[in-house]
Each structure stands twice: as structure tokens, then as C-alpha cells.
Amino acid sequence: MGHVFQFLKKSKKSKARVSRLKTAHGVVNLPNFMPIATRAAVKNLTSEELEEIGSEIILSNTYHLFLRPGVEIIKGAGGLHQFMNWPGPILTDSGGYQIFSLSKWRKIKAEGVEFSSMLDGKKFLLTPEKAIEIQKDLGSDIMMALDVCPAGKGSYEEIKKAGETTTAWAKRANKVKKGTGQMLFGIVQGGIYPDLREKSAREITSCGFDGYALGGFFVGEEEKNSWPAIKKTISFLPPLKPRYLMGAGKPEQILKAVKEGVDLFDCVIPTRNARHGLLYVFKNNQQIKGKFYEEVHITNSKYAGDFRPLDKHCHCYTCQKFTRAYLRHLFMSQEVLALRLATIHNLYFYLSLMRRIRENIKSGNL
């Protein structure tokens, strides 16, 4: 499967790299960012809008889709792409992270994880094999192996145990036959402990997955402890496979991680902040160093009579068509359109950031 990941250029200034990942539903230029379509929809947006924004790949959550509408419905529609009318690449997570963060009750066993539905309390058992079967039915381009994701402040013993279970489950997941054209990524755990990260990375990479994710970061640990563990993990990942830092992050965190050699990101930050009226504006047109952006709190009264676009250099629909004054008015009036226009802009900012990052690596500036 080496041909699906095409390495293009390694930076001389950092560990950053530019590459292309060929999936069954199209090519993803890396580094890249995945907007999150939790329930088979990126909140407030249609597929056409995602394409206009420049999304090359989106992420959808197996846990949510498994509970509602249920895998049978999506399978019946012909898979997730058809169900939600998104023609491009989709990565689905395994469901593990949501089981640990959203379900009121869960119990980890050797066999898998038992959990109660966040919707009605009904109990389910998710095994590594079942997680793959579900993702096969969803028909995603990239599937994730089921892992145990402990809290960032978990004890060494807890995190060691989570890593051991993750390895055992990864080996089982890797034995399941994938659907045609599907890739499967393994997840490295180990918290902030260098020795556990090394152990997990060695074990997970020995499985020979199509790509590798760094799990268990930005889940409550102190960020100063995250970065050494991220570096340590990456040092044990094969260079010719894509690397995905799960759940990251703020623009500056993404930039920092790219410099460490990360290729793929997902995060709720741009979309969630958009819904709260916190909008991102680049400070200049090309450079991405230092504090390269500003945060605009659009409900601030100083924008009430501001008839300029949010960012005069931005080519997104929102900035092309509307003023700060109108955006503020929509937020103040609690018009739902505000959420859409803000989401479009923030995702456009994130995807522009990724494009600039790729260009800066290519031109030797990053």
C-alpha cells in the first residue's frame, strides 16, 4: 500500500514535510486539516460549501453514527458518502474516544469495551473487530483502530495499562479484512511518558498500518508535557506513512506539530469558536510565523457600524459578501445564519493556513 502515500518534500529547516495521500475518494494534500462532521454533517454546512471552502477530507464520528441513525441505515443508503452527499475522502474514528469521553458508564475488558449509550443508556460491547466492521459498513476511506484513550492526567500505571490494551486491540483490528480501497490507521498511546510512548510506537508500527495516529494528546495533560511526548512518538514512526495528531488544535499548535513532522489534524476549535462568534483573521497575507493571526470577537460593540469585511484579504463567501456590522447584527439577533457564515470563515482560515503551510514548506520557508 506504499503507493497511496506519496512523499513530496522534506523541509531543511524543520521536520515538516509535504506529501499526498491517495484515497478511494480523492487525493489529500498533506499537511491538512479535517473539518468534523460528527453526525454525518459538518455543523451548519452543506457538502458544496465544504468543497468551496477547500476541504479535501472530513472526519465523522463512528460512536455518534452507530447510536443514531445506526449503521444499518447508513449501509442501506450505500455508505456514509452517499448518505451525507459528500463525494470526497472521509476518515472515521473508531468510536473509542467518545466512549471514554461521552458515555456515562463504560467498562474495559480484554475482549473490548462495554458502554452505555449517551442517548438512552442502552448497553453495547465494542470490540476491535466490531469497530472495523462498523467502519467497513460506513465505507470510510480511512478507518481507525480501536484504542483506549485514558485521561491526560491519568497515572503512569493507568496509561501503561491503556497502552498494553491498545496494542492488543490494534493487532486484532489489523487482522480484519478491510473493505476495498479502505486504509486503516493505528493509534499510539502512552500519555506524557517517553518510555510508554516509545513502547507503544514500536508495538503499533510493528503491525504495519497504513498510517499512524498520535492519540492521547490535548486530553487534559499540561501542554508543556505534550510536546516532548509528541516528538518522542514521531521519532519512532516510519517516515513514509502519514501521521495524524488527533484532536489538534489551535492554529499555533498545528504549525508547531507540522514542524515536528505531523501531516494530518482534526479539531472542533474552528467550528466551535465560530459558533461563539470568535473569528480568525490572518495578520498578513503570506507569513506564518510569530503571532500570525488575530482573534476577532465579532459581538464586540466596536463592530456595530463597521462596514468592512471581516478580513479584506480573505476570499471566503462570508468575507466576499458581508460586513462586520452585518455579522455582528446576526449574532446579536441570534440568527442561525450567523453560525453558518462564521463557520465558513473559520474553516476557510484553517484550510488556508494548511495551504500556506504546504507552500511555505515547498518554498523552504518553514
Q: Which residues bind its own copies (CB under 8 A)?
A: 39-41, 43-47, 64, 68-69, 72-73, 76-78, 83-85, 304-305, 307, 321-323, 325-326, 328-330, 332-333, 335-337, 339-340
Query: What cell was used for 54?
Result: 477547500
Q: Which is nearer to its own copies, 76 or 220 (CB)?
A: 76
Q: Known catalytic residue: 266?
A: yes
Shortest distance in whole angstroms from residue 32 CB to its own copies: 23
Residue 78: CB minimum distance to its own copies, A: 8
For residue 43, the one-letter residue type is K
The distance of closest approach from Cβ of residue 138 to its own copies in the complex, given in angstroms and rounded to an integer, is 13
Query: DSSP string spanning 231-250?
Result: HHHHHTS-TTS-EEETT---
Comparison of 25 and 39: residue with beta carbon closer to its own copies: 39
When the beta carbons of 82 and 101 are compared against its own copies, the nearer one is 82
Alpha helices in the chain (DSSP H): 47-53, 62-67, 71-77, 80-84, 96-101, 128-138, 156-175, 194-205, 223-235, 251-259, 269-275, 317-321, 324-332, 337-362
Q: Hey, what's the cell of 160?
A: 501503561
Distance CA 33, CA 23 (A): 15
Q: How far apart, in whole angstroms, are the C-alpha atoms of residue 189 and residue 198?
A: 9
Q: Contacts for 111-118 with beta carbons within 8 Å, 24 or more apart?
A: 112/146, 112/169, 113/146, 113/148, 117/67, 118/67
Q: Write down the catalytic residue from 93, 137, 141, 147.
A: 93
Q: Are 236 and 312 a contacting pair, CB within 8 Å? A: no
Between 328 and 345, CB nearer to its own copies: 328
The C-alpha torsion from 25 through 30 and 36 to 41, rounded to 10°, is: -30
In the set 137, 147, 210, 266, the catalytic residue is: 266
> Closest separation between CB of residue 308 and its own copies, Å?
11
**Residue with Cβ nearer its own copies (46 or 127):** 46
CB closer to its own copies out of 303 and 349? 303
Minimum distance from CB of 281 to its own copies (Å)?
Answer: 20
Q: How far is the CB of 73 from its own copies (least distance, A)?
A: 6
User: In a 3-state reduction of DSSP, which class is residue 119?
Assistant: coil
Q: Is 93 a known active-site residue?
A: yes
d(CA 257, CA 248): 9
Please, what is the Cα angle at 344 between 343 and 349, to 5 degrees? Answer: 95
Active-site positions?
A: 93, 266
